[in-house]
Chain A
Amino acid sequence: MAALSELLGDLVADVDGLFLFTPSHSHYEQFAETDVPTVVIAPENTVEAETFVELPLQFQNVKDRIRFGVEGAMEQSIVEAGDTIACNVGVFGGDLDSLVRVRVEENMRSGIYDLFANSRADPGVIRDVFEVAIELGKKGQKGEPVGALFIVGDAGKVMNKSRPLSYNPFEKSHVYVGDPIVNVMLKEFSRLDGAFVISDSGKIVSAYRYLEPSAEGVDIPKGLGARHMAGGAITRDTNATAIVLSESDGLVRAFKGGKMILEIDPEAY
């Protein structure tokens, strides 16, 4: 008759690190002094941990969340391929309720961490745009599914590789993404065709933009339409990141360097 705690014992046997996902203060204090290195992965370093990976988006999907954390830790050379780690993560609600044993592998580098941490635009700006896209995908525009295309970062170059479809509603205005009122504006303008261009610091430079990149060597999945193609292609020509909400399947996808990096379902958030 095995004791239940053996179940956990097997999971944490010779791990190289303990990953705590958004731990509470007391929880972190409890495990900070264990014999394996502790890494905190959270939106903000509230527990003042030494090794910390910023989680820009509260990924609902636990797999994405863990993958993001591991990737960030690899990027910061906290762990490397071949290590085994224990992830203490909350699946239901905020409490850390489960323990996952993960083997770090090189192919876990999907570029999600890179998308947020190493893009030209500020991580917070990319997160805000993601949130707008996700909210738009969830509710649509007046109940109808709607598509949208946001080009974030490297705005100067993007503006030079695109032309206006009509008057720019954001001309001579100083509005930034993340402001709740601006998010409503973005939703309203999303019924217009064309792309939103957003600068590195989150300023909305233009709406109604027709992108004119060269589409050679763009690697996007078959079956996606012109909006994704345009968004994907401009990220190859510039250092921008494209965040696309599909009108047909309602998924939010992110492109960088001409490649699709992330695909999330707004309904899951």
Chain B
Amino acid sequence: MPGPVSASLVHSSAGPEPASTAASASAPVFTFESAAPLQTVGGAVDDIVRIVGLRFLGVLAILFLGLVLAYVAGTLVRRLLISVGVPEAIEGTAFERTARDFETSTVEILSWLTRYFVLGISVFAALSFAGVNYADRFWGLVIAILPQLFIAILVLIIGVVVGDKVELLVAERFRAVKLPQVNVLPSLAKYTVFFLATLVALSQVGVATLALIVLLASYMLGLIVLSAVAFRDLLRSGAAGTYLLFTQPYSIGDEIVVGEVSGVVQELDMFVTHVESEDTEFVIPNARVLDKGVGRVR
């Protein structure tokens, strides 16, 4: 008896077959209600079918749009990352190598993440359009937390990659220094970046991070105090050197007297001045040049 109805319904839902189950589950409800008055009032059925179809079409369109948007966004992200040279910049970092082991790459992972994020949003949009009752608190929470989760994951990935890169750069910088103890510095730099990224990610998803921040503050304070003490002379010389380089009271080739040292200036940089006398080359910190004053021999 309900042959033509179901036929027309099938016809209208032929397209949305892969559509969300929630939406298609709501469809038969309408068919059974409308099954009885079908033979008598044809116009009403048409109306209902039209309403159902419209809603289906809306859901379908949103899903389709979400798919396309997700794909485009992912591709854009990938293109953008490649064009700013991210793959070369992060070449050789541990994260990239691990990604390679799984036959993917950091850029791929980021672009897929973007796709899933956009897709997730579009699924929620479709569900709300379909009128599915998601109003209970769980789904509301999920929707609220989704973007933050996305950003947290993004920050974590960026943190790991940047940390690895920083380690490589610092290690490269110190490669000329043949000192085994120096190996501590690259990993210190790496874990500092990891720590910062974790902190940002955790606070993004709303986990209590006060203890970590206190830890960070004390660590930074220690670092600053330590370096202020350790690099005091270097900083002083650097400041003095900046002045000397700008004003150039003496230049290469001049004969100068600094304290009890005298000779011809051979080299002048940020931190030190090389002065050469007959048989000795003195390396004078620039702080001392300002301290003692400098005499130019005419």
Q: Which residues of A contact B (CB under 8 A)?
A: 154-160, 171-172, 174, 199-201, 203, 205
Contacts and interface: CB of A to CB of B under 8 A. Distances in A.
A213 to B, nearest CB: 15
Contacts of B266: 154-157, 199-200
Contacts of A171: 251
A53 B115 CA distance: 52
Nearest to A201: B267
B248 A156 contact: no
A174 B255 CA distance: 20
- The 8 lowest CB-CB distance pairs between A and B, nearest first, are A159-B253, A156-B264, A156-B266, A205-B252, A155-B252, A156-B253, A172-B248, A199-B267
A160 B267 contact: no
Interface string B227-256: 000000000000000000100100111010
Contacts of A155: 252-253, 266-267
Nearest to A155: B252
Task: Please classify how large the interface on chain B is, using the bins under 10, 10 to 19, 20 to 34, 35 or more.
Answer: 10 to 19
Interface of B: 245, 248, 251-253, 255, 264-269, 274, 276
Nearest to A161: B253
Given A156-B276, A172-B248, A174-B245, A203 B267 contact: yes
A156 B252 contact: yes
5 contacts: A156-B264, A172-B248, A203-B267, A205-B252, A205-B253
Nearest to A173: B248
A160 B267 CA distance: 14
Given A156-B276, A174-B245, A205 B264 contact: no
B273 to A, nearest CB: 11
A155 B264 CA distance: 10
* Main DSSP-derived SS at the B contact region: strand
Nearest to B264: A156
A74 B59 CA distance: 81
B248 A199 contact: no
A174 B274 CA distance: 16
Nearest to B263: A156
A214 B175 CA distance: 44
Contacts of A160: 253, 255, 264
Contacts of A154: 266
A44 to B, nearest CB: 11
A156 B256 CA distance: 11
B175 to A, nearest CB: 10
Contacts of A203: 252, 267-268
Nearest to A198: B252
Given A156-B276, A174-B245, A200 B253 contact: no
Nearest to A174: B245
Most buried by A among B251, B253, B264, B269: B253
A199 B266 CA distance: 7
Given A199-B267, A203-B268, 11 more contacts: A156-B252, A156-B266, A157-B276, A159-B253, A174-B245, A200-B266, A200-B267, A201-B269, A203-B252, A203-B267, A205-B251
Contact of B264 (A157, A172, A201): A157
Contacts of B274: 200
Contacts of B267: 155, 199-201, 203
A160 B276 CA distance: 13
B204 to A, nearest CB: 41
A158 B252 CA distance: 10
Nearest to A168: B251
A199 B252 contact: yes
B131 to A, nearest CB: 64
A203 to B, nearest CB: 7
A155 B274 CA distance: 11
B248 A159 contact: no
Contacts of B255: 160
B279 to A, nearest CB: 13
Contacts of B248: 172
A206 B264 CA distance: 16
Which of A158, A172, A199, A203 has most B Cβ within 10 Å?
A199
A231 to B, nearest CB: 18
A259 B252 CA distance: 26
B241 to A, nearest CB: 11
A196 to B, nearest CB: 13
